[in-house]
Amino acid sequence: MDKQKRIVVIGGSAAGPKAASKARRLDEFADITLIQKDADLSMASCGFPYYVGGFFDNRNQLLSTPTGVVRDPKFYLNAKGIKALVSTEAKRIDTKNKVVEAENLLTGERIAVPYDKLILTTGAKPNMPPIEGVELEGITTLQSMRDADFLRKVRDEGKIKKAVVIGGGLIGIETAEALNLAGIEITIIELLPQLLTFLDMDMAKLVENYLRPKTNVITGNGVAKFLGSNGKLCAVKLQNGTEIPCELAVVAIGVKPNVKLAADEGIKIGELGGIVVDKYMQTSVEGIYAAGDCVEIPNMITGKNVLAPYGDLANLEGRVAGENAVMGNTVTFPGTIQTGICKVFDYHVGTTGLSETMAEKLGIAVDTVINASPDKPGFMSGKLLVSKLIVDKDTCQVLGAQCVGPGDVSKQIAIWAMAIRAKMCVEDMVNADLPYAPPFSLAIDHSIATAHIMQNKRKGRFTGINAKQLKNKIDNNEDIFLLDVRGFDEYEEMRLGRGETLIPLGLLRNRLNELPDDKNKEIIAYCKISLRGYEAAVLLQAYGYKNIKVLEGGLMAWYYKRER
C-alpha cells in the first residue's frame, strides 16, 4: 500500500477549504490538515456587506453550505475527513524538514504539523492609511468576520448617525449601501478623481450621479487626519482642510497579499507583492502551492501578472492547487481577465477585460462604443443598461466591456467575459445565438445590439461622439449644431439645455430647411438613447450632409448637468 500522503493547507477562508476539499475527493486516505488563524472557517466574505446591511440576519449563513450546514471543524472532520484547526496560527514553515510550526491562540500550545504537500492560502490584509488618529475607536475595515460582526452591531444598535467610508472601490461602495440602509448618513471619500477606478471615467460618472442623491460623494480628496475625543473618532479631516463630523469610519482602500509566512522561508514574492506561482499554482519551492488573494496571477489579455483578490478566483485557484497536490501537476489555472460586478443600491456595475484607460496605458489602439438600451421590452418592465465595448482597432477582437444601470448587468458581463476568453471578434457577436423571450431579453439582446453599433461604426456608417468630447466642444464654443430628434413631450420632461434644436425624427424629412445651409457643418444628433439619433444621421447623410456625429448612448449616457 502506498504511503499515506500528508497535505497541509494554511488559510481557511475561500481558497484553502476548496483546496482541502478537492484533495479529499481525489484521495480518500490522505491525511489532510487545515490550519486557520480565525475562529471561523470558509467565510463568504463577499457577503459581509449584505449581512451588515440587513439583507439576512443569521450570521451562520455566511459560514454554511447551500443546504444550511455550518462549515465548522466538526463538519470538516465528519463530512470530509479533514482536520480543521481553528484559532491556530501558522508561525513558520520549515521547508527543509517539511513541517509547519503553529500555535493554538487560545491555549498557547505549540504544535508541529508535518506535510508532504503544502498549500498556502493566507489571503490578504487590508491597507490602512499611515495617518494620525488611525488607532481611534470607531475606525474599522470590512475584511474579517470580526469586522462584519462589529458593523452589524452598529447597524442593530442604531446609535451612530454619521459615518465616512474611505475608498470608492467595490468594498467601499457596498459598505456605504449597507450603512445607508441602517439609516446612517454616509460620506464616501475617494482620493482619485472617480469612484470604481476599474471603470472608465464616462461610466464611473454615471454611477456617481446615481449615488449622489443617496450619499455624499467626495472625489479628488483624501484623508489627512482622524480627529478624536476621549479616544473615540469624532471627525475626519480632509487634505483640503474640510472636517467631516462622524462617529464611524470604514477604511476600504484595498488590500495587500499576506505573504510574510512564505517570504520568511524564501518562497519567491513578485513585483506586486504576491506569491509567485506557475500555471499549476506551484510556488518557487517544489511541493508547495499557493492560491487566493496572496498570489499573483497572469492577466490573460496582457500576459502581465496582476493581483486579483476575488472570491470566485480564489475558489478556482484552490481547486487547481488541491488537485495538483494529490495528482501531481496535471491541471492548470490560466489566469484572469478581471471580471467583476457589484450592487450599488438598485444600480448594478460590471466590468470584464481591459478598460479603454488600461488599453491606452498599454499602448493598445482600440475602438469603443457606448450603447444605452433596456435589458428587455418595456411591456415586461425593462430596465436601462448602459454598456461600453472596447475592441482592438486592428483586429476588432473584443478586449473589454463595461455595463452599468438598473437592468441585468450580470448577464451582459457574462456574455462579454466568455467572448473575451474565446478571443471572439465583433463579427462573431453580431449574429450570436442567445436565448430570447420577452421576460428575459429584447429580440436583439443588448449585447448583440452593442456589437451591431460597433460594426456600423467600424464600417463608417456613423461617427460617434461621447459625452466628454461633446462637452469639450460646447465649452470651447465650437460651431456645432445640436439636433435633438425626440418627441415634444420627451423634450419637456428632460433636455440637454445647450442650445439644441428639437426636430422629432418623424418630422425631420419635412423640416430639413431648419438645418444649416452648409452641409459640411458639424451636426450632433441624439435622442434618449441615440437609436433615433443614429437613424437621423443615416437620413441626413442621404441628403448630402457630410459632418454628422451621433452622441453615443444619448441623454442616458450624458453624465454632465442637464435641464430637468
Catalytic sites, residue numbers: 46
Q: Is 14 helix (H, G, I), strand (E, B) or coil?
A: coil
Q: Exposed, middle or buried, 543 (CB in 10 Å: 0-12/13-18/19+)? A: exposed
φ, ψ (nearest 5 deg) of residue 415: -60, -50
User: CA 251 to CA 298: how far, in whole Å?
Assistant: 28
Q: Residue 320 has which C-alpha cell?
A: 487547481
E strands, 406-488, are 463-465, 480-484
DSSP label at residue 4: P
Q: What's the 3-state SS for 248-293?
A: EEEECCCEEECCHHHHHCCCCECCCCCEECCCCCECCCCCEEECCC
Q: Judge contact between 105 and 85, C-beta under 8 A.
A: no
Checking DSSP bridges between strand 6-10 and strand 117-120, what pairing results, if any? parallel
Percent of the chain that is helix, strand, coil (3-state, to 5): 30, 30, 40
The HSE-up count of residue 526 (CA atoms within 13 Å, CB side) is: 27
Which amino acid belongs to residue 323? E
Q: Is 73 helix (H, G, I), strand (E, B) or coil?
A: helix
Beta bridge partners of 276: 296
Which residues lie below 8 Å from residue 207, measured CB to CB, with a gap of 6+?
195, 196, 199, 344, 347, 349, 404
Q: Judge contact between 353 and 301, C-beta under 8 A.
A: yes
> What does the radius of gyration of the chain's CA atoms come to, in whole angstroms?
27
